[in-house]
Chain A
Amino acid sequence: MNSKVADRIATTIFYLIAATIVTVLVGLLGYIIYHGFSKLNLDFLTSPSSSFRAGGGIGNQLFNSFYILFLTMVFTVPLGLGGGIYMAEYARPGRLTNAIRTCIEVLASLPSIVIGMFGLLMFVNLTGWGYSILGGALALTVFNLPVMVRVCEDALRTVARDQKEASLALGITHWHTIKTVLLPAAFPSILTGAILASGRVFGEAAALLFTAGLTTPTLDFSNWNPFDATSPLNIFRPAETLAVHIWAVNTQGLIPDVREVADGSSAVLIISVLLFNLLARWIGSIVHKKITASK
């Protein structure tokens, strides 16, 4: 076999692999959206779910998902940024750094159900909060933190070394260099990474089963006092998210329209995650243009 033929065969194989990936994705998305799309209307998206009768919506679940996601990111981003800066800029090569890196990797590879069980111990039982939004958000923080640390570290490391040298050679301190040169240059990648991680958090179910719970109390969307029991903003109430809802109606749903609700919820979930991905690219490129003053 001469090299030309080998090259052609290799090219074909890689095309086929790429095509397979695209087919799987398009097939999956197409199936879910095709089945769920008919359910998508304002009423379904805003009304509360029902326990026995048909025609329930996913309003509360949708709100819970975004609320837990928001809280998770509030916890994760500063911690992840701090960890990433430490790992990329301050950690000296050595045994301690290796140990920290191993911890991050192990944490990143923990199955989410294990994190859920850990959350049950820590944030539900030990704290005495019961199933709560805060407990769920903290469990998801544990789930998401290693990814965020990694994202921030990689983003800082990919900033060209000559940028850092340029700043230090001008007599600027290390910390000021990090603040004014490295972080702005790394910001688009950090933002993109954070939004992509959001998609992962948004779709997470296992870590929330035993932390945020499977129920949502009756919510009064006109009550925005976060300390009130019926307020949607109350962080100490149980909250079933969209991903958990899909699992719950499929396994223990008593409503007659289980299939429709599951289809619709799945479509909403997957469209949201898709939007996160598109948003990540779009905002990333806008921010990049803005801070580099390029057109």
Chain B
Amino acid sequence: MKTVMEPKRTNTTFAEQPLTEKTEKKPVALDVKHLNIYYGENHAVKDVNFSIDQNTVTALIGPSGCGKSTFLRSINRMNDLIPGARSTGEIQYDDVNLIGDDINVVALRKEIGMVFQKPNPFPKSIYNNIVHALKFNGIRSKKKLDGIVEESLRKAALWDEVKDRLHESALSLSGGQQQRLCIARTLAMKPNILLLDEPASALDPISNAKIEDLIMGLKKEYTIVIVTHNMHQASRISDKTAFFLNGVLVEFDKTDKIFTNPSKKDTEDYITGRFG
């Protein structure tokens, strides 16, 4: 995969680009072309075309079962786990089609991380939750591991709360803290893209707000795609919004536009709460 994914565009190379080259149009992180996803006979995602820009937050909204989570899970191939799921079309990422059969999903998932709806820390210590995947990737040096643990916990705004109890069980944390730990664990892998599947929906409003702040901050370094049922959340944190309905991408535009002046009637009906 590493070879398949070359040349790898990292966030640092973009930071080093001269400002003059930064135009209004941001580089594309993911380019989706004619994507279809099926679960057996069920056509869950129908001919979706749009592109997601680097270092932006893209919100996917729509009623339950509209295909937005299915789409999200297809980006890092988590749908592979579901028997009978198959996809056609393209999701271009650095000139590689992520839907292709020759993709090394293990390497792919290191670059495109995912955080789930329900906080799912491992029943291990906070520290081990983060180093679990690092050790698998051959990082053994205690000093290096400690450094990454602190760095990722800081990025996830959790360091101050847990720095004195890194070796306690992750299950002793509150739901909101657990979710930030899951984000930290994903960040430790230094991904380029973060996929968030309703990351705050199982949390209380205060934890929810913390996660939102976190996402806004992470945008500088990562491309973020977030599925949410919370319209306010989508309007607060995202740059662009995609509205899905019955597996079809109905509308994709700047978030301001979607929430103030949508061009499709279905979109307007949904965001004003007329259905879904």
Contact = CB atoms under 8 A, between A and B. Distances in A.
**A and B interact physically:** yes
A163 to B, nearest CB: 6
A170 B168 contact: no
Contacts of A173: 106, 136
Interface string A160-190: 1011111111111100100011001100000
Contacts of B110: 170-171
Interface stretch (A4-12, A61-69, A229-237, A287-295): A287-295
Nearest to A159: B123
Contact of A160 (B120, B124, B132): B120
Interface in B97-116: 106-111, 113-114, 116
Contacts of A294: 123, 169, 171-172
A170 B186 contact: yes
A119 to B, nearest CB: 39
Contact of A166 (B81, B83, B120): B120
Given A171-B133, A172-B136, A173-B106, A165 B124 contact: no
What is the predominant secondary structure among interface residues of chain A facing chain B?
helix
Contacts of B109: 168-171
Interface string A71-112: 000000000000000000000110000000000000000000
B95 to A, nearest CB: 20
Contact of B106 (A92, A172, A180, A295): A172
A168 B122 contact: no
Contacts of B189: 170-171
Interface string A138-175: 00000000000000000000001011111111111100
A294 B78 CA distance: 30
Contacts of A93: 83
A170 B121 CA distance: 12
Given A92-B83, A165-B116, A292-B169, A171 B106 contact: yes
A162 B167 contact: no
A114 B48 CA distance: 61
B120 A165 contact: yes
Contacts of B185: 166, 170
Given A169-B109, A293-B168, 13 more contacts: A92-B83, A160-B120, A165-B81, A167-B133, A169-B76, A170-B186, A173-B136, A180-B136, A181-B122, A185-B123, A291-B124, A292-B124, A293-B128
10 contacts: A163-B122, A166-B116, A168-B78, A168-B81, A169-B113, A173-B106, A173-B136, A176-B136, A185-B123, A294-B171
Interface of B: 76, 78, 81, 83, 106-111, 113-114, 116, 118, 120-125, 128, 132-133, 136-137, 167-172, 182, 185-186, 189
